[in-house]
């Protein structure tokens, strides 16, 4: 029987070697391209019509727009308007990737830590640059929690810096761990269906329920990834 981990295997589709670096176009890359095409295509069609009374597709587009706009207003406030494009892109990319991963025989690139970590580190570096651009060297004050007595500085500053550095890790791990755990669980339970014969109906029912739960998690984790990005941007703009 196939291992429940087989679904995460990376297989090159078009092998490309650049010097000593393997930059092959893999199944993971393929699904990222599919995600971009599906998300971009859906939104392009949704935005193209511009009808006064929105159809189904346009409703999806408007719902997404208003959801992210509301999220930014709540977490960052009026200043956050500028960052709408990047936040919206992150949300739609992660959400579409998670949802496409639920399609049987597809590949879930968000269940690979290198993918989520790459996104997290880009966000982390961008947010740090934003902080320095906004506040200059005053941004270092971010590492001193307000109300710290001077004698605690040698202890608090390293702790705050480490806490800051741990952000991309917790951001990446949260998305990756949720997606990977869910997909392994589905495969393991599904493995019982064939093994248990007639009683396989029980795990089958469980798989159906878990598939629903996974779709919720796909939304939830995309939301969490996005809201944390918003909070980090907010921290950089406002310092504490």
Partner 1 sequence: MSEPERPSSLDDLNQRLKDARGKFAPDAAPEDEGASSGGLGLGFRVAIDLVAGVAVGVFVGWLLDRWLGTTPWLMVLFFFLGAGAGFSNVLRAERESRKKPD
Which residues of this protein are in contact with partner 1, per CB under 8 A? 73-79, 81, 155, 158-160, 162-163, 165-167, 169-170, 173-174, 177-178, 220, 223-224, 227-228, 231, 234
Q: Work out how close the CB of 151 gets to partner 1 at its nearest, in angstroms, rounded to a whole number.
A: 16
Q: How distant, in Å, are the alpha carbons of 4, 7, 99 from that of 106?
A: 14, 9, 10
15: Cβ–Cβ under 8 A, 6 or more apart, which residues? 22, 24
Q: Give the integer Cα–Cα distance in Å for 186 and 2.
A: 13
Instruction: Please say which residue, 26 or 226, places its beta carbon nearer to partner 1.
Output: 226
Q: Work out how close the CB of 103 gets to partner 1 at its nearest, in angstroms, rounded to a whole number.
A: 24
Q: Work out how close the CB of 220 gets to partner 1 at its nearest, in angstroms, rounded to a whole number.
A: 6
Instruction: Please say which residue, 33 or 220, places its beta carbon nearer to partner 1.
Output: 220
Instruction: Please say which residue, 16 or 159, places its beta carbon nearer to partner 1.
Output: 159
Q: Give the integer Cα–Cα distance in Å for 227 and 72.
A: 8
Instruction: Please say which residue, 59 or 170, places its beta carbon nearer to partner 1.
Output: 170
- Closest residue by Cα to residue 233 from 114, 116, 88: 88
Instruction: Output the CA angle 136-139-143, nearest 5 degrees.
Output: 160
Q: How distant, in Å, are the alpha carbons of 11, 14, 36, 72, 109 from that of 23?
A: 12, 9, 19, 36, 16
List helix spans (H) across 9-152.
27-49, 56-75, 84-100, 113-135
Q: Work out how close the CB of 40 gets to partner 1 at its nearest, in angstroms, rounded to a whole number.
A: 26
Instruction: Please say which residue, 78 or 208, places its beta carbon nearer to partner 1.
Output: 78
Q: Work out how close the CB of 240 gets to partner 1 at its nearest, in angstroms, rounded to a whole number.
A: 11
């Amino acid at each position: 029987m196939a291992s429940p981990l087989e679904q995460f295997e990376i297989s090159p589709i078009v092998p490309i070697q650049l010097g000593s670096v393997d930059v092959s176009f893999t199944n993971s890359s393929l699904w990222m391209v599919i995600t971009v095409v599906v998300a971009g295509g859906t939104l392009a069609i949704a935005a193209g019509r511009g009808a006064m009374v929105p159809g189904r597709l346009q409703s999806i587009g408007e719902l997404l727009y208003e959801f992210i706009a509301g999220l930014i207003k709540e977490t960052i406030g009026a200043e956050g308007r500028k960052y709408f494009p990047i936040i919206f892109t992150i949300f739609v990319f992660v959400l579409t990737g998670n949802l496409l991963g639920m399609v049987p025989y597809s590949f879930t690139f968000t269940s690979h830590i290198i993918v989520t970590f790459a996104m997290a580190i880009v966000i982390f570096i961008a947010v740090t640059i934003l902080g320095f651009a906004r506040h200059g060297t005053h941004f270092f004050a971010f590492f001193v929690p307000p109300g710290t007595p001077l004698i605690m500085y040698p202890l608090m500053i390293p702790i705050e810096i480490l806490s800051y550095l741990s952000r991309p890790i917790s951001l990446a791990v949260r998305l990756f761990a949720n997606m990977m755990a869910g997909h392994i669980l589905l495969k393991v339970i599904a493995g019982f269906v064939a093994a248990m014969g007639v009683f396989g109906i029980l795990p089958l029912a469980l798989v159906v329920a878990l598939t629903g739960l996974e779709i919720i998690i796909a939304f939830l984790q995309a939301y969490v990834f996005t809201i944390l990005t918003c909070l980090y941007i907010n921290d950089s703009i406002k310092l504490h």
